Structure 1
Amino acid sequence: MGSEDLAVTGTAAWIAAARARESARSDRLFNDPWAHLLAGELGRARLAASERAAGGENAFLPVRTRFFDDVLLEATRWARQVVLLGAGFDTRAYRLALPKATTVYELDHRGTLAAKESVLQAAGAAPVCARLTIGVDLRTDWSAPLLDAGFDPGAPTVWLAEGLMFYLESPTVQALLSQTASLSQTRSTLAFDVFGTGLLRLPAMKSWIEQRQRTSQPLPFCTDEPAALVRRCGWHRCVITEPGQEAACFGRLSSRRDGGVDPTTRTYLLAAERA
């Protein structure tokens, strides 16, 4: 596994650790029986480190996962293709009540997908529908391997990119969103999350941002105009939800009060359709 695969896999393990902790709660928002195994010691250590830096438990992560679970289940009432962009250690093809006629395509680095496959096979996990993994770098041409795997651009599709855009550069994000639009017909759905630019100025992010600057790495992608971004890339009817609002709260997050709050520190959960 290359260094980039290791970095991606470490991030996937961190998010799996958050799902495992949520699944152990009596009032859990979802149940992921495999998250604990997928997280491993690496994921639990990364989750603990990230929350030490932030000064407390990250209550947003399980809310985000449940929000996108709901979007996906609603959209698969009519769409029978699901594409998980930057799938990581996502187990939705195993844990959600998806229609059996659904096909889930998982796109991510080969090493990350192989690591997940090893854990799930050892655990005897079986997907609820057809599932295909495609090892690609989303900064390159990923559409050709997807089409070769049997993806039908003429059928309604649900595109989901949970926690992905932050790790990409702006040109890659725009190319990715535009490509999903070009492969989508009416009633297709695109769902993803993105942070406002104020995130890059938060004290908890300072050391990480400085480290990226020292090593000449690009800063994470953020935007304060998510609706314009979506429209520019060919998607329409965009609904934007912020954590704490009714559809993204689940009794876990307080409602945002804008008085005196920097508007660039918003977090956006987006669901858009092709008109």
Structure 2
Amino acid sequence: MQAVSRTALWVASMRAAEAARPDRLHDDPLAAAVVAAAESIPAAPPGAAEFMAVRTRFYDDFLLSSGATQVVVLAAGLDARAFRLSWPSGVRLFELDLPELLDFKERLVTDTGLTTTCSRVVVPVDLRTDWTTALTAAGFSASSPTAWIAEGLLQYLTEADRRRLLDTISALSVPGSRFAFDHMDTSADDRESVVDTLARIRDMGAEFVATVDDPALWLAAHGWAVTTDRVPALAVTYGRPLPDFMDPAAANATALCTATLPLAGQPLR
């Protein structure tokens, strides 16, 4: 499989490990099947699975609280939210990613017999090119409020591709839309544990840019109200503080952001 798919396998293996815990923050019926189907998956560094569990729960909570009936998962990878979350009635969820990765995922879904808990639409695209045409053709409505997520995506994009993606999301969003994403602060560049993790990701062949200019500032300048959470604080909120051996400064370097396009008359907060 291509390099980006190898990182998707890596994330799935960490989600499978989390699902096996009695105090798990999420369950994932597809993750174990992914691990069983993969020939080999690089080992995660210490603390990575705990970090990933918090990040996953953040996006789960965002989607279920968004109130949107139209959801777009950018770079969906082996994400199983269409199958594992208890969606309210009427939700249509679009999964966007590379064709070969989505084909692999579809085979696993068929083999495991999973059924969706929402209306799921698969859209094979490359997010570095024009993807709005395919999304619209698949039934996306630019006149309806949308809940967007870009989980672990912005770190893989160049500055130009990242700005193009944010431009596109803004152009397709109407007031009431929400957008959740994560990014790494530049402070992560000096943390040994982060450098080690980035080296492992790049060894998989992924074009990992890592730290980026703050996209929250860009979104705020374009009318979005943005709030930011940090992984260690969220871990405490979820009742699962990060292990003591983890570098708190490194964990704090990842920002988990929620952006809202306010309705008319609503102030920016």
Query: Scaled by the length of structure 2, what TM-score is found?
Result: 0.85
Change (3 A) 1:44 1:65: farther
Output aligned runs, 1:189-228, within 5 Å. 189-204=178-193, 205=195, 220-223=209-212, 225-228=214-217
Aligned to 2:156: 167
- Is 1:27 matched with 2:23? yes
Change (3 A) 1:183 1:81: same
Corresponding pairs, count? 257
SS of equivalent residue, structure 2 residue 65: helix
Aligned to 1:81: 70
- Aligned mates of 2:64, 2:111 — CA distance in 1: 27
Change (3 A) 1:218 1:33: closer
SS of equivalent residue, structure 2 residue 126: coil
- Aligned mates of 1:148, 1:249 — CA distance in 2: 40
Q: Which amino acid aligns with 2:105?
A: K
SS of equivalent residue, structure 1 residue 45: coil
Change (3 A) 1:126 1:206: closer
Q: Which amino acid aligns with 2:98?
A: H
When the two chains are superposed, the root-mean-square deviation of aligned CA atoms in Å is: 2.9
Change (3 A) 1:225 1:23: same
- Aligned mates of 2:9, 2:39 — CA distance in 1: 4
SS of equivalent residue, structure 2 residue 148: strand
SS of equivalent residue, structure 1 residue 121: helix
Aligned to 2:32: 36
- Aligned mates of 2:53, 2:207 — CA distance in 1: 27
SS of equivalent residue, structure 1 residue 139: coil
Q: How big is the shift at 1:219?
A: 5.6
Aligned to 1:273: 260
Aligned to 1:258: none
The answer as to whether partners of 2:71 and 2:148 remain within 8 angstroms in 1 is: yes
In the alignment, structure 1 segments of 5+ residues that lack a partner are: 256-260
- Aligned residues with identical type, % of pairs: 35
Cα deviation digits, residues 155-198 of structure 1 (max 9, x gap): 01000111111111111111111211110111100001101123
SS of equivalent residue, structure 1 residue 66: helix
- Aligned mates of 1:162, 1:210 — CA distance in 2: 19
Q: Which amino acid aligns with 1:45?
A: I
Aligned to 1:105: 94
The answer as to whether partners of 1:8 and 1:109 remain within 8 angstroms in 2 is: no
Q: How big is the shift at 1:248?
A: 6.7
Output aligned runs, 1:1-275, within 5 Å. 6-40=2-36, 42=38, 45-46=41-42, 48=43, 50-51=44-45, 55-75=46-66, 77=67, 79-204=68-193, 205=195, 220-223=209-212, 225-232=214-221, 234-246=222-234, 249-253=237-241, 266-275=253-262
In the alignment, structure 2 segments of 5+ residues that lack a partner are: 263-269
Change (3 A) 1:197 1:264: farther
Query: Scaled by the length of structure 1, what TM-score is found?
Result: 0.83
SS of equivalent residue, structure 1 residue 65: helix
Q: How big is the shift at 1:106?
A: 0.4
- Aligned mates of 1:254, 1:211 — CA distance in 2: 22
- Aligned mates of 1:211, 1:56 — CA distance in 2: 15
Q: How big is the shift at 1:203?
A: 3.2
